[in-house]
Homo-oligomer: A and B are copies of this chain.
Amino acid sequence: MKKLSDRCRTQGATLALFALLSTLLPLPARSDEGMWTFDNPPLKLLQEKYGFTPTKEWLDHLRLSSLRFNDGGSGSFVSPHGLALTNHHVALGQLQKVSTPQKDYAKDGFLARTRAEEMRCPDLELNVLIAMENVTARVQGAAKPGMKDAEALKARQEMIAKIEKESLQATGLRSEMVSLYQGGEYWLYRYKKYTDIRLVFAPEQQIAFFGGDPDNFTYPRYDLDMALFRVYENDKPIDSPNYLKWNSRGAADDELVFVSGNPGSTSRQDTLAQIEGQRDFVFPSILQSVRRRLDVLRKFGGQGPEQHRQTLDLVFGLENGLKALEGEYEGLQSKELMAQVAKRENDFRSQVNGNAESKRAYGSAWEEIAGATKKLGARFKQIRVMSFRNLQMTSKALTIVQYAAEVKKPDGQRLEGFHDADLESLQFSLLSPAPAYPEMEQALLTDRMQEALEVLGPKDPYVVALLGGKPPEQAARELLATTKMGDAAFRKSLIDGGEAAVAASTDPLIVMARRVDPLNRELTKWLQDNVESVETSAGERLGKARFAVYGKSAYPDATFTLRLGYGTVKGYSMNGTVAPPVTTFYGLYDRSLSFGGKYPFDLPARYAERKASLDLSTPLNFVSTCDIIGGNSGSPVVNRAGELVGLIFDGNIESLVGDFVYDGTKNRAVAVHAAGMMEALRKLYDAGFLADEIENK
């Protein structure tokens, strides 16, 4: 399952224009499509198609039982005592961080037999969406008529920082602005934030990710991709009525189900020019980077078991991302998909241009975005290589250098990510006690330097700043040989010491980061002035035009915020035959034996030892038509009664183009079945006490 992707969405907002077109067109009939905000659930659609209208209480309870895992996933409360369910692959980063060379919980799993054994995660933050407030008028109003796009962007950013800070001060809740409908709406989301999260249970990665990279994003599937955490406050498990009741019967074929989670990013309302940009320069470039990173990690991991252990989470993430990107890229190259995108845009555009007033107000937005996209394309390779993504200590060094400079400024004028409302979570992440892996990072940094050298040439100022005049391998080795950035106390001393401490530091990574920082700021400013500001202004106008044409019967693109999806449990046509709605434990054993039990189809020993005790007909995974994407991993699947019947962990291969279009005939969300999880906890993992807590027995 894809987590949040490499690509960031730029957010939009723009000039105020209130002309409404005379006709509201319904959106074309869509089968179970949509990642709906909880303020605008598709009540009419649900009533018409399924004769079901969720009540406010139903929606509130589901929302308050849903969790955002801030390192890129979703989850839900499944007991009154703070037990939280998500995927093993969402937990993987934390599992690795609590592991040691001696004890590999990521690979071997973990079970706390008592509360005392529950193991605190170093840097996991969970969020519950408490409130949503529409602040569109304030944000859009910040940009005054006559302002240039870049000024307008600045004004909106200042207003956003102000609103977030006010909210934080007034409520103490994590307060985040969300730009929806390409800037057509701005919402302030307030979250209850949890940072004392303890690991309770995880199975072996073997079974959580059974079938490995080959089976990833495919179906039929047989994965126990689950993990349990417990949420603590004041050193005690929380007590709360906001949890999902468990239903081990699961959902029947064709039954209506819902998904509540945090889809990361989609491009369904992007313009054709933007999607062509993804096809022509974003994907080819990113695919190249991901492949070389994987190459480096595989070589490093091949040196020995400890090296292999260190690469586990990163390799999973990159392989996962690569397979998703390849599937999306293949979609982008199909004429059919591009024709769909073009038709969608032409229909919309001809509606807008069919009316003189709306044409004047919105008609130029597409061309403006096309212009910005063209500029972006010209510098995209540079943007790609000027990134410290996947470099743990190196990226922290740059963030700390920026931090020291930014916090001195008035809140509204800081770089994005350094506003007052961001600082608590940022510090939590910067000061994580999770272990560093200097040798692995050296391998990755060497490659990153090599990549920058190849793309930009040896005389490029960024390359000069990054390499300090040395060959990549030597430069990276020297940077990582003596850095103390792996030590949380050292990082704290820099943050506490502020600009003076950062300026005085002789830590090699800090020294390098100081050289690179101005070049990064320059690029950020260029991006804001030339791309982001245009996309925001024009995007806001398109958002308004969309409301004018279609009303609010549409859902916004995904933004890694809480969304409601719906659909039915349903098989689909596949490769000449049909894929079934569910799979069973029988299929797990079949697939393993079919490959002679070879990796990645090997099973943990307990699966052979305890096979006789299992009811092999127990459902293990199932598919539904719910519309999901990376970030939805760990989302609960619930029935009409709001009971948990499954746990989203993947989409099928046909769903990868869901970034751009949704096809209800083939797009499927893959989930672990509620019954399969109980069967495993009770009969394979001696965790009947957890099953009892969950099933309230």
Interface residues of A (CB under 8 A from B): 211, 214-215, 217-218, 220, 253, 323, 327, 571, 574-578, 580-584, 586-587, 589-591, 593-596, 601, 616-617, 652-653
Contact = CB atoms under 8 A, between A and B. Distances in A.
B253 A596 contact: yes
Contacts of A571: 595
A578 B215 CA distance: 7
A215 B652 CA distance: 19
A589 B586 contact: yes
Minimum-distance CB pairs A-B, first 8 = A580-B594, A587-B590, A576-B653, A586-B590, A218-B577, A586-B589, A218-B576, A575-B575
A586 B577 contact: no
19 contacts: A211-B577, A214-B577, A214-B578, A215-B577, A217-B576, A218-B575, A218-B577, A253-B596, A574-B575, A575-B653, A580-B591, A581-B595, A582-B594, A583-B590, A586-B587, A586-B590, A586-B616, A587-B590, A589-B616
Contacts of A214: 577-578
Q: Which of A574, A576, A586, A591 has the most CB of B within 10 A?
A: A576
Contacts of A323: 576
Contacts of A211: 577
A406 to B, nearest CB: 44
A521 to B, nearest CB: 42
Contacts of A590: 583-584, 586-587, 590
Contacts of A576: 217-218, 323, 327, 652-653
A581 B593 CA distance: 10
Contact of A220 (B218, B594, B617, B653): B594
A218 B220 CA distance: 14
A668 to B, nearest CB: 12
Given A217-B576, A218-B576, A577-B211, A617 B594 contact: no
Given A586-B586, A586-B587, A587-B586, A593 B577 contact: no
Contacts of A589: 584, 586, 616-617
Contacts of A215: 577
A575 B217 CA distance: 10
A125 B596 CA distance: 41
A210 B595 CA distance: 22
